[in-house]
A and B are shown apart, each in its own frame.
Chain A
Amino acid sequence: MKVVTGVVGNDIHVVANRLIDISLEERGFEVFNLGVNTYLEEFMDAVIETDADVLLISSLNGEAEGWCRDLQILKSQYDFKNVTFMIGGNLGVGEMDPEQLVPKFQSYGFDLVFHQVDLNVGLDSLEAFLEAR
């Protein structure tokens, strides 16, 4: 399965990005890593060019809330019905209520949302989600 991944917006957390890349490869995914400082449009375009099954966006500086709010608009411009949209990391700035964050990102159009959750737990959930699908 193909996964497009990278860090969204003005976020340069490259170590976390590399760990996600390695972990995904270890689990047998074909990874297209766009690296840090990636815009939402580039993620979507990479999914189209590679015909990826999963888009996994990470964010650590908490700005994903701003950078990802146009996801639904971009999703409506192309046929992404077989693509799983996932986001994880530190998704809020300051003291956020995780119970509010997850539904917010789901309303943006993400199928799977992980706020301050261990990477392997998140990837286990992704695999389970793909299997069920």
Chain B
Amino acid sequence: MSKLYIDIGSTYFKVSQKGNIEQYFRNFDKNILDDLNSKCSTIVNQYSKEDIHICSSANGGLSTLIVGLTNSFSLKYAINIAFNSGINIIDTVLYSKLESEPVPLEVIDVVIVVGGIDSVEKVFDEKLLNYLEKVNYQNITYVGSAKNRDFLIQNLENIVVLENIISDKLQIQEEALKHYLTDLYQSDIVGKEDIKQLYEITSNQIYSTPYIVNRSLPKINERLDVANPFIVVDIGGATTDIHYSRDLVNDNILTENGYDRLVFKKLGVYKSRESLVHTAKNNEFVFELLEYLNVTENILEEESTKATKTLMQLAIFLVLYKVSKHHGQYVELNLDILNSIVLTGGITKVLTQEEVEDIVLFFYKKILQFHHAPTTLLDSNYEIWTYGI
């Protein structure tokens, strides 16, 4: 018996069976299950609960606060694992600066405390407890030195202690924390009424879509015409995700998967439109880009198909710029050796292949001074997620 795959997005839901994918606009007057049943109950009813697999990016996801000992190891490793687990909202605090850092005002879904290899003693003390007393959090996990576990267990109620994410050779160990965060995401969405109802049609775990996309990456070049190293850029309504091959990064992280994820939570075309425009206006190359596209700055304030297209093109440019060597952020990708760019998400419904190629070529010529650009591929069928579910 074949399987039925369903992806619940913030604007569409997609239903895939036997390699055929159908997409439906969400009707926000109905809950997800009713909406799904009204549009494709005939398909859904053909499958047993065991054969229906669902992923969702519709319910926001978890907010995370990471307290770590150093930028190069504990914070870096924890951020990497959190992004790969499908988490979008991540704040970090360096333990040595804990007392001078402002305490987050909003409720944090999960606090992650990390630092030290297993043999290191007394990494965390009263300073951590005093800080955490002021933080409004729902879950807390400790993934640091084994010799600090007892202190934290004794002093922090409900703390979940997991395997240290830093090995004795200072390498990343991601599995335990990744499972914990993925399970937490599941319990979070199960608690949400809309998603809870979906368990009426499936007996399988509902995963976050970014986690599933990340899992599908090793299979992409078996199914699509892309060459390694490649990146997958998912430009959606609220955020922009970039999934990249680790061949493009020169750092100290070695993961088994070989692909990582980075989220720009303020680069979306609908819900985060204002911050996208703000970022664009502050970029020194954007006015040249607008001229290249034959539009004026006023387009950024307009509500039209042309304006949406321009914003999408700006989003592609800004994402590439933010991961390039010209912008020292969390991750710098070696775009010089990039062979393929795969675009997925809402952007594939708005831009044509030529419009995407145009903007990528502009970036490569203007910023990297190249005469050619990587090949681009639009996942117009929006099928990449089905490889990983």
Q: Could you list which residues of chain A lie within 8 angstroms of chain B, going by C-beta atoms?
A: 32, 34, 37, 41-42, 44-46, 48-51, 77-78
Contacts and interface: CB of A to CB of B under 8 A. Distances in A.
Nearest to B74: A49
How many B residues touch the partner, as a band? 10 to 19
B171 to A, nearest CB: 10
20 contacts: A32-B169, A41-B72, A42-B252, A44-B70, A46-B72, A48-B69, A49-B69, A49-B70, A49-B74, A49-B116, A49-B117, A49-B120, A49-B166, A50-B117, A50-B119, A50-B120, A50-B170, A51-B116, A51-B119, A78-B96
Contacts of B250: 37
Contacts, number: 40
Given A32-B170, A37-B250, A78-B96, A48 B70 contact: yes
A78 B94 CA distance: 12
Interface in B324-369: none
Nearest to A46: B170
Contacts of B69: 48-49
Interface of B: 69-74, 96, 115-117, 119-121, 166, 169-170, 250, 252
Nearest to B123: A51
Contacts of B170: 32, 34, 46, 49-50
Main SS class of interface, A? helix
Nearest to B169: A32
A77 B71 contact: no
A45 B116 contact: no
B47 to A, nearest CB: 49
A45 B120 contact: no
A75 B194 CA distance: 52
A81 to B, nearest CB: 15
B95 to A, nearest CB: 9
Contacts of B115: 49
Nearest to A48: B70
A94 B376 CA distance: 47
Contacts of B120: 49-51
